[in-house]
Structure 1
């Protein structure tokens, strides 16, 4: 991928990204897979964003390929430098993602509120992942992550008007979106359909191999996907989830948060703990 040069030094109301930042520590951690597709599902529950995916994305034709194409530029925005990152490239992908809503209204992916919601789900995934599967975050750590995320968002070169100033304001914004704004858009419902129907075979996987893998993969994917969503999202999407499953999920999360597991994880090689985009960022820095 060709990265685009830009200069986005942190402003006074933000903190820098880099090896000492908490966003770097958690965002590229390979344990992030444990949260399932939480950010993608929640993104598509904003009606305007879900409609853009429905009208323009290859998500429905080849989900795996769409993720392979979309995720690297996000990581290269986070793990790039202030002067060289993929932020404006990510923004420019969305210039032509616009159209008409079913009620006759218009949508555009670069509308400030729509674009910020996509970013908000990525930031919230850091909070959810770290607090659920690594350690309970302190208030100071939550605020630090938020201030670092402001530097991240400004790398896109879009309006930061909708961006809350503090973590407390972000938390209020998030709760309002969950309670009053999100809907069960068809894009979101499609994205979690495999919870009850099974995951579609990726085109790159041979049918025989998938036949052997699917009986193990599908229950695990359903467990991580449903357990990793907020209760409000589960209810809107009609996803089955029992008290027994919730207790099992909480035991699963507590295992990963335990001191012995963290002790072992922290002593593994970085190439095991972090994805390739994060490794390149740490190596450069």
Structure 2
């Protein structure tokens, strides 16, 4: 088997989108709770946990195993997902819709039937990436993981009212990825209930474990010793405990110490870090775009009355 591809370290810092249309707020509320959470660079630490939560749903795991190229380039896929999420959160309206169309075209090809039995999912069960319930689950993993990591690693604690706004402001993001209003939980309390119910029913299959091994393998060029072990420690800290154990990521004393040290360091540094370091540059591009006045309409106005 050929060696898995590596990425240069620069790929971990995706560039912001072009400035976009002046004055265009995009699809997410400018400066709202959803953008505040999404802007934190620390949220990227939850990327592996979000993927592992997604593939703990047997239908998602089957789609990834059969149709995805995680095995040939998992780091590239993770970073592609990150760039798409940042573009939708902070791009102008057309930029957000364009990336959603691109992702939707890729998802349209992901369909089939499961090849093996899993608890609650017999072989032959049909799946498709644009299934509203599966799309909701993927969206939910991104919302929950970002909120959890922002709190634990960046010290961004949301009040109950802010948690409500964070959920409501995530809905335009969800709609761009084929999640209709009829399946979206109406409130954050309903979202939390949906989350607990769904997490309790998840099953970590062999296909999911294969994805986990690929995602948690160190892929940078040059290699960075210790990064893979730290990623496993953070992922064990972020995941619900029973899923961490199912993925063989039990929070051992060493992992607890590593995650606690990183949490403490980041939370101590965050209040004094310049915004340019603490946040993705996409957020600053969005702030400048929204502040800029749109260009005057070149079309002639109505003729003046004599």
Normalising to structure 2: TM-score of the pair? 0.75
Q: Is contact 2:45-2:231 (8 Å) kept?
A: no
- 1: distance between equivalents of 2:95 and 2:46? 29
SS at match of 2:107: coil
**Which residue of the other structure, out of 148, 158, 169, is the alignment partner of 2:169?**
148
Q: For the aligned residues, what is the CA RMSD?
A: 2.8
Which residue matches 2:200?
179
Change (3 A) 1:124 1:189: same
CA distance in 1: counterparts of 2:132 and 2:251, whole angstroms: 34
SS at the partner of 2:127?
strand
| 2:105 matches 1:92 | yes
Matches of 1:238 and 1:262 in 2, distance apart? Answer: 31
Report the TM-score when normalising by structure 1.
0.80
The alignment partner of 1:239 has SS state of coil
Residue pair 1:17, 1:151 contacting (<8 A) in 2 also: yes
- Show the counterpart of 2:286: 281
| 1:237 counterpart (232, 240, 247) | 247
Aligned residues: 259
Structure 2 CA distance for partners of 1:19 and 1:93, relative to 1, 3 Å:
same
Deviates more, 1:233-242 or 1:103-112: 233-242
* Mean CA deviation greater in 125-134 or 108-117: 125-134
Corresponding residue for 1:72? Answer: 83
Q: Does 1:23 align with 2:7?
A: no
Match of 1:115 in 2: 135
Give 1:27 deviation, angstroms.
1.0
Contact 1:116–1:162 under 8 Å retained in 2: yes
**Where in structure 1 are there 5+ consecutive unaligned residues?**
11-15
Which structure would you say has the larger RCO, counting Cα contacts within 8 Å and 6 or more residues apart?
Answer: 2
Rg larger in structure: 2
| Matched residue SS, 2:112 | strand
Structure 1 segments of 4+ aligned residues over 4 angstroms from their partners: none
